Structure 1
Amino acid sequence: MPRLIAGLSEIADGYDVILSDVWGVVHNGASAFAGAADALGRFRARGGAVILITNSPAPSRIVTAQLNELGFPSSAYDAVVSSGDVTVSLLIERSGQSLFHIGAPQETGLFEEVAARDGHAPRFAPIASADFVLCTGFIDFFSETPEDYDERLKLIFARKLDFLCANPDLVVEVDGALSYCAGAIAERYERLGGNVIQAGKPFAPIYDRALTLAGAARGGAVERARVLAIGDAMRTDIRGAAKQGFDSVLVTSGIHRDALHGAAEHAAIHAAALQQFVLDFGLRPSAAIAQLVW
C-alpha cells in the first residue's frame, strides 16, 4: 500500500529533484492550483530542482506560455519538458517525409517549431500518399470520441503506416471533466496491429530530457534515487517513474478521482479503494496525496 501523505513536506527531505506532471497536478486546464505552486516553490527554495514534465503535444515554450496565462508562477519550477519537444525531434528525424495529421488544425505550434529548427515545415499529405501519421489529439477536442476515428485508422492500417503519437495520455481533466487525448486514438490503432511510436511518458526519451534539465538546474549530475515523480495518471506518470527507477507520488484527485474518492465532491481518499486500485494496476506508487500541497 502506498504511504498516504497530507503534504509534500512529509517526504521532501529525501529528494533533490521533482519531476511533476502538469495537467491534473498543477492546473486543471482552467485554473492553476495555488497549493501546488506553493509546494513546488518551497521545494525549490530548499535547494531542490523542479522540472515540469508533460504529455502535452505542444512545445515547451507554448506550455510555459499557457502556465503564465493560468497564473502558475515561474518561481515554482526550473524548466518544462513536453511530449511536444520529443515529437519535434522525431519529426526532424523524418525530414523530407510527408505526414497525415490527426489533430486540431489551429494548433500549429509544433510545426512552427520544426520549421524554426529544421529550416522548413513538415509536408502534409492525405492517407493515400502519406509516409507516416502524426496524431496530436482530436480534431474536435470536446465532442469527438475515439470510435469516430475507426474508419480512418483502418485506411491507415491498410497502408501499414507508422503512427506517431504526440500525447500518450488517454484522457485529461479539463475543469473537472475528463476529455480524450491522442493516446486514446493510438490505442485503437495498436489494437488493429498498427505500429505506434509514443513521444511522452511513460517512455524513456522524455525522462532523459528532464534529467538533463534537472542536472543543469542543479549544476551537476542527478542521482536517480533522489528523484521524485509526481502525477495523477497510473498508466503514464506512475508507470514511467517505475520504469526509470524513481520514487513516485500519485495525486488521487486527478483522473482517478472517482475510483479513489467516490462521487462526493470533497470526499477523502478511501484507503481500501487505493489498495485495490494499485493491485489492479500492478503498480505501486511510493506515496499518495489528495492534492499537491506542502
Structure 2
Amino acid sequence: MTQIISSLADISDRYDALFVDLWGCVHNGVKAFPDACDALIAYRQRGGTVILVTNSPRPRGSVEKQLDGFGVPTDAWDAIATSGDSARAAAFDGAVGHKVYFIGLEEEKDSFLKPLTIQDKPIHIETVPLDQAEGIVCTGPFDPLADPEDLRPGLLYAKTKGLKLLCANPDIVVDRGERREWCAGAVAQLYTEMGGESLYFGKPHPPIYDLARRRLQALGKSVGPEGILAIGDGIATDIQGAMGEDIDSLFITGGLAASETKTKDQPDQEALNAYLDKEKSNPTYAIGFLR
C-alpha cells in the first residue's frame, strides 16, 4: 500500500538522486512553490542530486529561463532533462522527416525547430503546409484552451497520408495557475485513437529517463534504480513512468488529482486508495504537496 508521508525529509536519506517533475510540483505555471523549493535545496545540501525531469516541449535552456521567471532558485536543482530535448534530437534525426507540419505555439516552434549542429554540420527542419509534409511535430495545440477535437479534420487528412506525429509533450492537461490547459499528449492521443501513429519521448516513455540518467552521469554520479526517487503529480506520466523504470515514486496528490484524492493539505486515505485502484497504480509514497 502507498505510504502517506509528511515531508520529503522523512524518506530522502534513502535516495541518492531525485527525478523531479516541475509543473504541479515545483511551480504552477505562474510562480514557484516555496515549500517545494526549500525541500529540494535541503536535500541537495545533504548531498543529494536533483534532476528536473519535465514533459515541457521546450529545450532545457528555455526551461531554465522559465524557472528563473517563476522564482525557482538555481540551488534547488542540478540539471534538467526535458521531453523537448529528447523529442528534438529524434526530430533532427529524421524521425518524422525533415519537412514537417508544426502544431503548437509560435514561440515553441522557434525554440524547438532552431537548427541543430551535429559534428559541425547544421541540420535544418523545414515547416511546410500539411499537404506537403513528411510528418507532424506537435508541441501542443495551437490554442491550449480549445478542444483538441477542433484539430480532427487536419489529423484525419494526415492519417490518410500515413504521416507520423512526433509528440514533444505526452501530458494530456496541465494547470496554469487556476486554469487547465490542453497539452500535446491530448493531440497525440486523439491521433492514435483515429488510427494514426504517434511517437512519444517524454514521461512515461523510456527516452526521457535515459536522458535523465545521462544528465546524472554528466555530473559524475553513478546511481542505480534503487537510489532514485521519482516525484510527480501525473499518475499516467510521472508514476507510470517510474513504475516502468522500476524506481520508487512519490505521488504529489495536490496537483492534477487534488479533487479525486480530496487533497487539501494531505490526501484522504480512502479517496487516495480508491483513485489508485481505479488507475491501477501503486506509487511508493504520497504527499499532498512537495515540502
Task: Give the alignment's TM-score, normalised by structure 1.
Answer: 0.94
The share of aligned pairs that are identical, in percent, is: 37
- Contact conserved, 1:16 with 1:226, CA < 8 A, in 2? yes
Q: Is the 8 A contact 2:92 2:98 kept in 1?
A: no
C-alpha RMSD over aligned residues: 1.4
Give the equivalent residue in structure 1 for 2:68.
68
Cα separation, partners in 2 of 1:99 and 1:193, compared to 1, 3 Å: same
The alignment status of 1:287 with 2:256, answered yes or no, reads: no
Secondary structure at the counterpart of residue 56 of structure 1: coil
Alpha-carbon distance between aligned partners in 2 of 1:222 and 1:216, rounded to the nearest angstrom = 12
Mark the runs of 5 or more structure 2 residues left unpaired by the alignment.
none
AA at the equivalent of 2:156: K
Report matched runs for 1:1-294 at 5 Å: 1-94=1-94, 97-107=98-108, 108-112=110-114, 114-116=115-117, 119-141=122-144, 143-217=145-219, 219-261=220-262, 266=264, 268-293=266-291
Q: Residue deviations 1:167-198, cap 9 Å, x none?
A: 00000111023211000010010101111100
Cα deviation for residue 267 of structure 1 reads: 5.8
Query: Unaligned stretches of 5+ in structure 1?
Result: none
Matches of 2:272 and 2:179 in 1, distance apart? Answer: 21
Cα separation, 2, equivalents of 1:45 and 1:209: 24
Task: Supply the AA of the counterpart residue of 1:232.
Answer: D
CA contact (8 A) 1:115 1:122 kept: no
Question: What residue identity is the alignment partner of 2:231?
Answer: I
How far apart in 1 are the matches of 2:136 and 2:262? Answer: 38
CA distance in 2, matches of 1:267, 1:81: 29
Q: For this pair of structures, how many residues does the alignment match?
A: 287
In 2: Cα distance, 1:239 partner to 1:20 partner: 14
Q: TM-score, normalised by structure 2?
A: 0.95
Aligned pair in 2 of structure 1 residues 129, 176: CA closer, same or farther (>3 Å)?
A: same
Partner SS, residue 28 of structure 1: coil
C-alpha deviation, 1:149, in angstroms? 0.8
